[in-house]
Amino acid sequence: MLISKEELDWAERYWNTVNYISAASIYLKDNFFLERKLSPKDIKDGLFGHWGTCPGINFIYTHLNLLTAKKKQNTMLVVGPGHGFAAILANQFMDGSLKKYYPELANTKKGLSKLIKSFCWPGGFPSHINPGVPGTIHEGGELGYALSTAFGAAFDNPDLLVACIVGDGEAETGPTAAAWHSNKFLNPKTDGAVLPIIHLNGYKISNPSIYGTMSDHEITALFTGYGYDIKFVTDSHREMLETMEWAYTRIKRIQEDARAGNEIVKPRWPLIILKTKKGWTGVKEANGKIIEGSYRSHQVPLKDAKTNPNSLKLLEEWLQSYNPKLLLKGGKVPDNTLFYIPKLSIGANPHALGGKIRKPLVLPSPKKFELKFKKKGDRLDSATDTLGHYLGEVISSNMNNFRIMSPDELESNRLDAVLETTGRRYIWPHSDNDDTLTQDGRVMEILSEHTLQGWLQGYTLTGRHGIFPCYEAFLPIVDSMVSQYLKFLKLSLDYKWRKPVPSLNYLLTSVCWRQDHNGFSHQNPGFINVLLSKATEEQLVRVYLPADTNMLLAVTNHTLQSTNKVNLIVSDKQLIRQWQSYDEAVEQSKTGASIWKFASEENPDIVLAGCGDYQTQECLATVKLLKKVVPEIKIRFVNVSELNVLGGHNLYPNALTAKKFEELFTNDKHVIFSFHGYPETIKQLLFDRPNTQRFHIYGYIEEGTTTTPFDMLIQNKVSRYHLARRAVEHVAKTNSKVTVKSKKLIKLMENKIKEHSKYIKNNDKDLEEVNNWTW
């Protein structure tokens, strides 16, 4: 490949310029172009940011610009070491993408001065990559997720090249280790490409990186095993130019071969490993200690530059080494340094602003899938089985705009009806016995929740839609990831040019109440708490607990149309009784809670409330039991299908009004509330409601094992017998007709609990009156 001197000179000039801007941004609040001797008053009082990774990011960005301009390639960049934001800010200033949204950051002396000062300055830019700059779908503030996010962006984007910088510290994380296998799911015929670039600078905050202690041979063996074709690059522009050309040529060859109809067999995508010194081009040493090439350059070397004359002198020598007076004549980047900025710049890539290119889903009418029954409670059905048929039609109508990201649980969660429409995506060779694996499948299954989360984030933030079904107990694996995603979403609302993106949707099934066969390890409803703790007035989080199949259809249809949300739906897969027509479910979804009149009376003595499918069924069993043994008691039953509505309006704008709350729960009657998850969740939601001491909350209390289904309710003290006993105890205080029977009734319930315990140990199944119960 012929490499011109012009290209090499440009690369060196551009790289030195962004290195200077990056370093100056960390330190300077004045004298931005060193037009006079540096003094303490020029130094920012707070020195933040991470210098150590910046030169490597700048080196990569330089050569991505060159490649993108020469090839006219549609290129997006995902940066794992997002703490190197000073570098990204410098490059987006250079490529003009910042100017579109911040006109004051034009390529003038005033504009560049403002940019340098604004880094980590109050009212300016923060220390990490963030939604305040275009071209980003990943902050990188928490390490490990860049690679999976990059692959998510590439799926169904055939013309897009997603370059992904992976720091060698980040490469040690479990999420990154699993994400390397994403290459087995990338279809060169219909997807874009991901070009991973590992920046191996040898050090983390205070330790050498693991990769930094491995030989090139060992690293090659590792990534060859993963299925990549690897090239190492050192600090040479010529070498990087040649390697970028090699990677691009290889990507195009793989894609062209696949798109010509040839068989796809283990495409070995390119991987670049850039080996440089940490803090490359920075201060070499200070106070007798090595800085460049050591962990000491990780964040801000020379932190005492404002107060230590020797450090100030070293800083000035470092900044002058880039020759800013020559690079930035008159405080402006000269045109020849901008020559290879691509017309469609990396920072302005439209896919990074997915809300602007979002296409709404074509959704079937859920009513078409309505589960019909003659009498409430007389039909058993698996809600997720019916939902699988609905999602199958969603897929068939949105073949390039919707994906299901799932662990190896699709059939276990009874969503396998989607496989009548599509297959499971897998690219590498496999046994003919694996007849549901196809290279064009819309279902993505890998036993790594981290990878699935990253895929879905990358997919939705670039404007497409999806749903993530998972065993309830194991979605907490991505607690931290979704927390970071919500921060990204919240900050995005501050920028009008970031339009709403498709919501990130979760379906939790195989719930704790029916993990009786898998046991205690599979019983954990804690993801609900994680999301509710992220509630804000912008209402980014919605949590739904539909009681039956038709409610699940109504809720899912709504969430798939929503934007800028994290929606959580909790619905089990097992057979359960059905209560509402589809129209009734839609009506309830308007408020998120309603009185079920068929199970309620006027002027009740007590209110029973159920939130969750099993809780609803068991509350209704409690109503029937009470009306049988103590008909004098007057009961109201309330079903809550959306958790948010219980909270206060300060965090939940769709919360029930005070009037509606009183209509449902009265203003003075005791309420026995049976909840799917941890009782404390409901207590927190009700905190802003008046007179909540009358609410008695029961739910999962970390009791369970391998047992019978009903015994899970018994162990957690939310069975019909427990609920009935509590109802009698409360009503006996105000209703004399119940008072005279209360001791006898309480004894009856206690005996039923004992009878149950004895029966399951002898028969390995629940009581017949439980198994054969009907409304």
Q: What is the pLDDT of residue 710?
A: 95
pLDDT top residue among 408 and 162:
162
Measured between alpha carbons, how far is 709 from 764 in angstroms, rounded to an integer?
Answer: 11
Element (H, E) at 275: strand 270-275
Crossing angle (nearest 10°) for helices 383-397 and 549-561: 30
Where residue 663 falls (left for φ over 0; alpha for ψ -120 to 50; beta otherwise) is alpha
Instruction: Judge whether residue 170 has pLDDT over 70.
Output: yes
Strand partners, 675: 611
Backbone angles phi, psi at 28, to 5 degrees: -100, 140
**E-strand spans in 545-641?**
566-570, 575-577, 593-595, 606-611, 635-640
Q: What is the pLDDT of residue 416?
A: 95
Residue 355 neighbours by CB under 8 Å, 6+ apart: 463, 498, 499, 500, 501, 563
What type of residue sits at position 771? N
Among 702, 697, 715, 727, smallest CA distance to 766 is for: 715
Q: Are 292 and 67 contacting, i.e. CB atoms less than 8 angstroms apart?
A: no
Q: Are 727 and 633 contacting, i.e. CB atoms less than 8 angstroms apart?
A: yes
Element (H, E) at 455: helix 449-461
Q: Could you identify the residue written with the tokens 């490499």? A: 3
Q: What is the largest CA-CA distance in the chain?
A: 100
Least confident of 288-292, 464-468, 512-516: 512-516
Write the pLDDT tens digit of every residue in 656-682. 999 999 999 999 999 999 999 999 999
Q: Are 115 and 332 contacting, i.e. CB atoms less than 8 angstroms apart?
A: no
Query: What are the residue boundaries of the structural domains of the chain, listed by start?
Result: 5-34+42-348, 360-577, 596-771
Measured between alpha carbons, how far is 255 from 160 in angstroms, rounded to an integer?
Answer: 12
pTM of the predicted structure, to 2 decimals: 0.96
Among 255, 249, 101, smallest CA distance to 187 is for: 255
Among 70, 69, 276, 245, smallest CA distance to 165 is for: 276
Measured between alpha carbons, how far is 711 from 593 in angstroms, rounded to an integer?
Answer: 28
Q: What is the pLDDT of residue 172?
A: 96
Instruction: Judge whether residue 493 has pLDDT over 90.
Output: yes
Q: Could you identify the residue written with the tokens 């590792």? A: 222
Q: Could you identify the residue written with the tokens 């350059």? A: 297
Helices (H) and strands (E) in the chain, counts: 26, 22
Q: How many CB atoms lie within 10 A of CB 565?
A: 20
Strands 160-167 and 606-611: unpaired
Among 643, 697, 634, 689, smallest CA distance to 667 is for: 689
Q: Is the dihedral of CA 260, 262, 263, 266 positive or negative?
A: negative
Among 164, 234, 171, 218, smallest CA distance to 194 is for: 164
Q: What is the pLDDT of residue 542?
A: 96
Q: Could you identify the residue written with the tokens 């991901």? A: 194
Instruction: Judge whether residue 269 has pLDDT over 90.
Output: yes
Task: Write out the two tokens for 543.
Answer: 């949590």
Write the pLDDT tens digit of every residue in 721-733. 999 999 999 999 9
CATH architecture for segment(s) 5-34+42-348: 3-Layer(aba) Sandwich (3.40)
Instruction: Judge whether residue 536 has pLDDT over 90.
Output: no
What type of residue sits at position 306? K
Residue 2 neighbours by CB under 8 Å, 6+ apart: none
Residue 463's alpha-carbon distances to 360, 542, 684, in angstroms, are 9, 20, 34
Q: What Rg, from alpha-carbon coordinates, does the chain have?
A: 30
Measured between alpha carbons, how far is 148 from 163 in angstroms, rounded to an integer?
Answer: 12
Instruction: Judge whether residue 450 has pLDDT over 70.
Output: yes
Write the pLDDT tens digit of every residue in 305-344. 999 999 999 999 999 999 999 999 999 999 999 999 999 9
Residue 639 neighbours by CB under 8 Å, 6+ apart: 547, 579, 588, 593, 594, 596, 609, 610, 611, 616
The band of 219, judged by pLDDT with boundaries at 50, 70 and 90, is very high
Instruction: Judge whether residue 42 has pLDDT over 90.
Output: yes
Q: What is the pLDDT of residue 1?
A: 65
Residue 669 neighbours by CB under 8 Å, 6+ apart: 604, 605, 606, 607, 636, 694
Measured between alpha carbons, how far is 8 from 3 in angstroms, rounded to an integer?
Answer: 8
Q: Could you identify the residue written with the tokens 């739910």? A: 699
Q: Does domain 596-771 have CATH number 3.40.50.920?
A: yes
Domains 5-34+42-348 and 360-577 share a fold: yes
Among 194, 188, 198, smallest CA distance to 223 is for: 198
* Alpha helix positions (H), 143-198: 146-154, 174-179
Q: How many CB atoms lie within 10 A of CB 517?
A: 10
What type of residue sits at position 457? Q
Write the pLDDT tens digit of every residue in 104-128. 999 999 999 999 999 999 999 999 9
Measured between alpha carbons, how far is 203 from 169 in angstroms, rounded to an integer?
Answer: 7
Residue % of the chain over a pLDDT of 90 = 95
In 3-state terms, what secondary structure has residue 530?
helix
Strands 606-611 and 635-640: parallel
Q: What is the pLDDT of residue 509?
A: 94
SS (H, E, C) 332-397: CCCHHHHCCCCCCCHHHCHHHCHHHHCCCCCCCCHHHHCCCCCCCCCCEEEHHHHHHHHHHHHHHH
Write the pLDDT tens digit of every residue in 686-705. 999 999 999 999 999 999 99
What's the whole-number mean pLDDT along residues 537-550?
95
Backbone angles phi, psi at 558, to 5 degrees: -70, -45
Q: Are 127 and 49 contacting, i.e. CB atoms less than 8 angstroms apart?
A: yes
Measured between alpha carbons, how far is 480 from 571 in angstroms, rounded to an integer?
Answer: 23
What type of residue sits at position 675? F
Q: What is the CATH number of domain 360-577?
A: 3.40.50.970
Measured between alpha carbons, how far is 579 from 592 in angstroms, rounded to an integer?
Answer: 16
Measured between alpha carbons, how far is 187 from 683 in angstroms, rounded to an integer?
Answer: 48
Residue 580 neighbours by CB under 8 Å, 6+ apart: 376, 547, 548, 550, 551, 588
Measured between alpha carbons, how far is 531 from 179 in angstroms, rounded to an integer?
Answer: 24
The band of 709, judged by pLDDT with boundaries at 50, 70 and 90, is very high
Residue 634 neighbours by CB under 8 Å, 6+ apart: 601, 602, 603, 604, 605, 606
